[in-house]
């Protein structure tokens, strides 16, 4: 029986040499670590050292999250990944009316430098790589991190990590935007410029397809719309006067890994090849690092089930293997109970152990690019690449990512695919173990981790104390300077840093920018 891939492309029951359309793998693929990087961005890949094992964590207060980070480091995590709560992601303080009921729920609440100081207490910031899943207010959280590092005596040029900072996908699939696209892109360009001189080892953006995949995007849609957004960011930086080789080596990407292992491996290979070609041919990048697509991967939260949650351990293992075989640079493995609630200490530890088994008990790290030359994977790579390039061309025809977003193109395409998946699942054509096949009559009881609702009141008390203690005229003066920069063309990160140093809150800084730039309101096309 004929099968289709997640991208709707045919999967043949048998592949042979004819699947490669006569091309010689040795000529077409090149070497690992060499253009077009189909086989990986580094010559030795995991044979020298494994990927960065980065666990996404953060909940409740900074004190609770700090304790979790210390546990993860103790258990072998080599990189932290910070989850922020929705008020922080939207640029609101914990005591704002719009924050009510959401403080500390899906991540940690960070209202000021006081919270950031507690969040990383006892964690040497020159020894750990930190990724922060923050977008519209990414500049603020990066500056708070830098300020805390300065207090630790750590120079900014020693800091390593990533801010997600990808606001375009927020308009497409996630919704935690603040400002309209134009000032949002200006802010991103300011971050690029600031980090080039101030925090040179920092990855200034993680251009994300993960959230589009969670919203229902197919693998081809995921990389097509992500790479199209990447092109928009590069064009913005170049238009702001930057040379492509000054910032492109610090660009990174963020993708999902699904259980469809073969297509996921093909997807990662195709994405590297397309990006290398775009950077060299469209933007004239000369530095090889500018053409490398380096990416973080997270296993597919959308594929986890609340039914028979232990089965998710198997799903996550397969997804993690797909990411590793696809050549990821860092990986987060979801905990088996995340379809129910925040992960417990035990489930988070098991998720990390999954990566450690792959790295240390299997032979997938013994050789570079084990799938190279596979008839099936190479043909699927070509097929995914062709479908991706076709979608990217449609975005270009509309005038680029921002114009396509304003037409609702990406969102509409993703929603249609999500509807197709839902129909297939409901009809039983798409098997989901424990949901529409192999079910049980009665689920075993499970006690999830719960966030204390009193956190909101405690954060409000901390904010009240902060506002009473700080130098209010200094805060007002710093915010005024920030607004002047936002109204003109000066880099806003310099006055923003001084405002945060004076203990201005995240909400106050974002509100100052809202006064100048306004807020984004989706068009009727959505």
Which pLDDT score, from 0 to 100, does residue 414 have?
Answer: 97
Helix (H, G, I), strand (E, B) or coil at 373: coil
Residues 118 and 242 occupy one common structural domain: yes
Burial 293-314 (b: 16+ CB within 10 A, else e): bbbbbbbbbebbbbbbbebbbe
Of 238, 227, 153, 137, nearest to 193 by C-alpha is: 238
pLDDT tens per residue, range 455-471: 999 999 999 999 999 99
Query: Other CB atoms closer than 10 Å to residue 284's CB: what's the count?
Result: 12
Residues 470 and 338 occupy one common structural domain: no
Residues 229 and 346 occupy one common structural domain: yes
CATH number, domain at 331? 3.20.20.240
Of 426, 445, 467, which closes a domain?
426
* Tens-binned pLDDT, residue by residue, of the chain (526 aa): 568 999 999 999 999 988 888 887 777 788 999 999 999 999 999 999 999 998 777 888 999 999 989 988 888 887 888 999 999 999 999 999 999 999 999 899 999 999 999 999 999 999 999 999 999 999 999 999 999 999 999 999 999 999 999 999 999 998 999 999 999 999 999 999 999 999 999 999 999 999 999 999 999 999 999 999 999 999 999 999 999 999 999 999 999 999 999 999 999 999 999 999 999 999 999 999 999 999 999 999 999 999 999 999 999 999 999 999 999 999 999 999 999 988 888 998 999 999 999 999 999 999 999 999 999 999 999 999 999 999 999 999 999 999 999 999 999 999 999 999 999 999 999 999 999 999 999 887 877 777 788 999 999 999 999 999 999 999 999 999 999 999 999 999 999 999 999 999 999 999 999 999 999 988 754 4
Residues 225 and 128 occupy one common structural domain: yes
- Is residue 437 domain-resident? no
Q: For the whole model, what pTM was predicted?
A: 0.93
Residues 113 and 220 occupy one common structural domain: yes
Residues 385 and 462 occupy one common structural domain: no
Of 377, 410, 426, which closes a domain?
426
> Tokens 């290398």 correspond to what residue?
276
H/E stretch holding 105 reads none
Residues 407 and 470 occupy one common structural domain: no
Angle at CA 421, nearest 5°, toward 331 and 302?
30
Alpha-carbon gap, residue 346 to 331, rounded angstroms: 19
Q: Which domain holds residue 352?
A: 37-426
Which pLDDT score, from 0 to 100, does residue 320 have?
Answer: 98
N-terminal to C-terminal alpha carbon distance within the chain = 38
Instruction: Say if CB 176 and CB 170 are below 8 A apart.
Output: yes
Question: What would the DSSP string read from start to end of 108-167?
Answer: B---SHHHHHHHTTT--TTT-EEEEE--TTHHHHHHHHHHHHHHHT--GGG-EEEE----
- Is residue 1 domain-resident? no
Residues 94 and 187 occupy one common structural domain: yes
- Is residue 483 domain-resident? yes
Residues 166 and 277 occupy one common structural domain: yes
- Is residue 202 domain-resident? yes
Which pLDDT score, from 0 to 100, does residue 444 have?
Answer: 79
Residues 80 and 173 occupy one common structural domain: yes
Instruction: Say if CB 17 and CB 379 are below 8 A apart.
Output: no
Residues 54 and 190 occupy one common structural domain: yes
Of 388, 405, 426, which closes a domain?
426
- Is residue 210 domain-resident? yes
- Is residue 486 domain-resident? yes
Alpha-carbon gap, residue 143 to 509, rounded angstroms: 12
The pair of three-digit structure tokens given for residue 230, joined into one six-digit string: 């990447």
Residues 463 and 410 occupy one common structural domain: no
- Is residue 445 domain-resident? no
Number of domains in the chain: 2
- Is residue 498 domain-resident? yes
Helix (H, G, I), strand (E, B) or coil at 82: strand
Which pLDDT score, from 0 to 100, does residue 524 have?
Answer: 55
115 conformational bin, left if phi > 0, alpha if psi -120 to 50, beta if neither:
alpha
Of 143, 192, 187, 193, nearest to 168 by C-alpha is: 187
């Amino acid at each position: 029986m004929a099968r289709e891939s997640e991208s709707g492309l045919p999967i043949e029951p048998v592949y042979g040499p004819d699947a490669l359309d006569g091309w010689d793998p040795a000529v077409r693929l090149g070497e690992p670590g060499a253009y077009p990087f189909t086989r990986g961005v580094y010559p030795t890949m995991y044979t020298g050292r494994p990927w960065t094992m980065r666990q996404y964590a953060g909940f409740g207060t900074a004190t609770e999250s700090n304790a979790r980070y210390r546990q993860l480091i103790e258990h072998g995590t080599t990189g932290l990944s910070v989850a922020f709560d929705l008020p922080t992601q939207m640029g609101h303080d914990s005591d704002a009316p719009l924050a009510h009921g959401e403080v500390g729920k899906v991540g940690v609440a960070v209202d000021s430098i006081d919270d950031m100081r507690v969040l990383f207490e006892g964690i040497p910031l020159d020894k750990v790589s930190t990724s922060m899943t923050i977008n519209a207010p990414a500049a603020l959280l990066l500056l708070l991190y830098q300020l805390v590092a300065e207090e630790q005596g750590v120079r900014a040029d020693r800091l390593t990590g990533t801010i997600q900072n990808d606001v375009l996908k927020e308009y497409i699939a996630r919704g935690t935007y603040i400002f309209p696209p134009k000032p949002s892109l200006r802010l991103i360009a300011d971050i690029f410029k600031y980090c080039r001189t101030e925090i040179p080892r920092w990855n200034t953006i993680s251009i994300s397809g993960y959230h589009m995949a969670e919203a229902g995007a197919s693998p081809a849609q995921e990389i097509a719309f992500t790479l199209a957004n990447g092109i928009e960011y590069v064009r913005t930086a170049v238009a702001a006067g930057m040379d492509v080789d000054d910032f492109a080596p610090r660009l990174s990407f963020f993708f999902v890994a699904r259980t469809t292992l073969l297509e996921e491996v093909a997807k990662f290979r195709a994405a590297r090849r397309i990006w290398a070609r775009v950077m060299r041919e469209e933007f004239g990048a000369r530095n090889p690092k500018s053409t490398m697509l380096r990416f973080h991967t997270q296993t597919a939260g959308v594929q986890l089930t609340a039914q028979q949650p232990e089965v998710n351990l198997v799903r996550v293992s397969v997804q993690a293997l797909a990411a590793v075989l696809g050549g990821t640079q860092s990986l987060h493995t979801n905990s088996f109970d995340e379809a129910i609630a925040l992960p417990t200490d035990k489930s988070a530890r098991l998720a990390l152990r999954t990566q450690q088994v792959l790295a240390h008990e299997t032979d997938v790290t013994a050789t570079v690019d084990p799938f190279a030359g596979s008839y099936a994977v190479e043909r699927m790579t070509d097929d995914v690449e062709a479908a991706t390039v076709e979608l990217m061309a449609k975005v270009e025809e509309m005038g680029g990512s921002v114009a396509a977003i304003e037409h609702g193109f990406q969102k509409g395409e993703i929603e249609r695919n999500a509807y197709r998946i839902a129909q297939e699942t409901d009809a039983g054509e798409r098997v989901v173990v424990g949901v529409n096949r192999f079910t049980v009559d009665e689920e075993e009881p499970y006690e999830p981790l719960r966030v204390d609702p009193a956190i909101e009141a405690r954060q409000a008390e901390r904010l009240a104390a902060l506002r009473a203690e700080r130098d209010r005229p200094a805060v007002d003066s710093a915010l005024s300077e920030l607004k002047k920069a936002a109204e003109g063309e000066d880099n806003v990160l310099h006055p923003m840093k001084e405002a945060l140093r004076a203990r201005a809150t995240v909400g106050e800084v974002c509100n100052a920018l809202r006064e100048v730039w306004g807020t984004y309101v989706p068009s009727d096309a959505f």
